[in-house]
Structure formats: structure tokens, C-alpha cells
Chain A
Amino acid sequence: GIQVEQSPPDLILQEGANSTLRCNFSDSVNNLQWFHQNPWGQLINLFYIPSGTKQNGRLSATTVATERYSLLYISSSQTTDSGVYFCAVSNTGGFKTIFGAGTRLFVKA
């Protein structure tokens, strides 16, 4: 099955700093999502981005499907950005979604 690797596993930032999170996947995919899991456990949808680039405020994402990776950019980080960021992919009609292990982000005030 598809393997999903996220890096870095942990990241500590000073408030206001920028960061790039990476997601590598081992096979072609039809779907790719980025989620933020907040401290209460809720998974919040950030991007649905099987290819191309999208932006939403301070966050943007790029997926290069032919090279099997996706990047999540966080600019001017805030303490509320803390949490775990997951990348999730699927290629079989969406039923079997494979999640990466996540990047744990802590933003210091």
C-alpha cells in the first residue's frame, strides 16, 4: 500500500516565524488532504489538494503529484497554530485513506 512520510516530526517556532511542512507519498494518488488537529483532538480541514497550489490566509499548500510530494506553508505563525498537522492520501476511490504520522508544531509566544 501507499506509504506516507511527513517531516519534520516535531517543530518549535517563535511566534511570527514561517515554516514548511512536507509530505512524501510512495505512489500516485487521487486525493490529498492536509488537516490540523487542535489540542482538543478535532481534525480541521485545511486543504483538499491532489495537485496544484492553494492559499487560505496565512496558509498555503502545493502538491506536485508527478514527484509525489506536498508542502504546507505557514507564514507569520501564531500560538493558535500549535497542534499536529496531518497529511492524508488515497488512490482507490477514497475509501482507504492513509494518514501520515503527523508533524507536531509548537509556536512559542
Chain B
Amino acid sequence: DVKVTQSSRYLVKRTGEKVFLECVQDMDHENMFWYRQDPGLGLRLIYFSYDVKMKEKGDIPEGYSVSREKKERFSLILESASTNQTSMYLCASSKRTGWDRNEQFFGPGTRLTVL
């Protein structure tokens, strides 16, 4: 069974704080993704990574950075949190090869509130 875990279900931070969201998957997947989900805007891709130390910008990378030092872990970093980054953050992973490559599996999500 694929398992994707995220470090926190709920997080409250202050404006200007540096925020780390951690995601870990246990199925040796090459690809990992960070999305945010907002009412009326759906799921939007922030960043993705297809290998260790590799990263690609998604549709809304501004204000975010990522780190992938190990295959199983993908971190999302908010360098200076702002109120407009209050959102639900979802991490996903998928494998790169096989008949079911690119089938994405999601973590439980982190509801971040920036005050």
C-alpha cells in the first residue's frame, strides 16, 4: 500500500515566519509534487521533483521553494509566510515507469493558516 505522509495536519504561523512543510513517501516513487487547494480555484501545482535534487516550477511557484535531498522526502518552504498563503497544501507522489506510471497518490494534507 502506498503511503504518503505529511508532517502536520494543521499549522498556524505568523506573517513573516519561515515555514517548512514535510512530505514523506514509502514506495520508492521518483516523482513528488506539492499542490495547494483553495475554494473556487481547485488544485494548483506549486513545484514538482522527478529525482533527488531535481525540481521544476509548477503553475504558482512564487513565494515558495522546495528541497529534495532524499528520494523519499520532499519539503515545501515558505521563506516569509504571508496571509495569502493560507491554504490547504497537498503532497503527492508517483512512479516514473510501469503501466501505472504517473498514477498520483496523495498525503492527508496540511491546513496552513497564516495570521
Q: Does A57 contact B (CB under 8 A)?
A: no
B104 is contacted by which of A30, A40, A97, A102 (Cβ under 8 Å)?
A: A97
Most buried by A among B31, B92, B103: B103
A33-B94 Cα distance, complex, nearest whole Å: 12
Contact A94 B94 (CB under 8 A): yes
**A96, B33: Cα distance in complex, Å:** 10
Contact with A along B71-115 (1 / 0, CB 8 A): 000000000000000001010101000001111111011010000
User: Is B60's beta carbon under 8 Å from chain A?
Assistant: no
On chain B, the residues within 8 Å of A35 by CB distance are 106
A contact residues, total (Cβ < 8 Å): 22
Q: Please, which residues of chain B bring their CB within 8 A of the CB of A99?
A: 42-43
Q: Which residue of B lies closest to A48 (CB)?
A: B103
Distance in Å: Cβ of A89 to nearest Cβ of chain B: 11
Interface of B is mostly: strand
Interface residues in A55-104 by Cβ distance below 8 A to B read 86, 88, 90, 93-97, 99-102
**B40 → chain A closest CB, angstroms:** 9
Of all chain B residues, the one with the shortest Cβ separation from A94 is B102
A42 touches B108 (CB 8 A): yes
Q: How large is the interface on B (under 10, 10 to 19, 20 to 34, 35 or more residues)?
A: 20 to 34
User: Is B19's beta carbon under 8 Å from chain A?
Assistant: no
Q: How far is the CB of A79 from chain B (nearest CB, A)?
A: 21
Total CB contacts across the A-B interface at under 8 A: 51
Question: Using Cβ atoms and an 8 Å threshold, which residues of chain A touch B100?
Answer: 48
Cβ proximity bits B38-61 to A, threshold 8 Å, 1 near / 0 not: 000011010010100000101000
B103 and A95: CB pair below 8 A? no
Q: Given A99-B42, A101-B42, A41–B88 Cβ distance below 8 Å? A: yes
The reply to whether the CB of A43 lies closer than 8 angstroms to some CB of chain B is: yes
Q: Cβ of B103: which chain A residues have Cβ within 8 Å of it?
A: 31, 33, 45, 48
Query: Within 8 Å CB of B58, what residues of A?
Result: 96
Task: Enumerate the 10 nearest inter-chain pairs by beta-carbon distance, A residue then B residue, closest first.
Answer: A94-B102, A43-B106, A48-B103, A41-B109, A99-B43, A42-B108, A31-B102, A99-B42, A101-B42, A48-B100
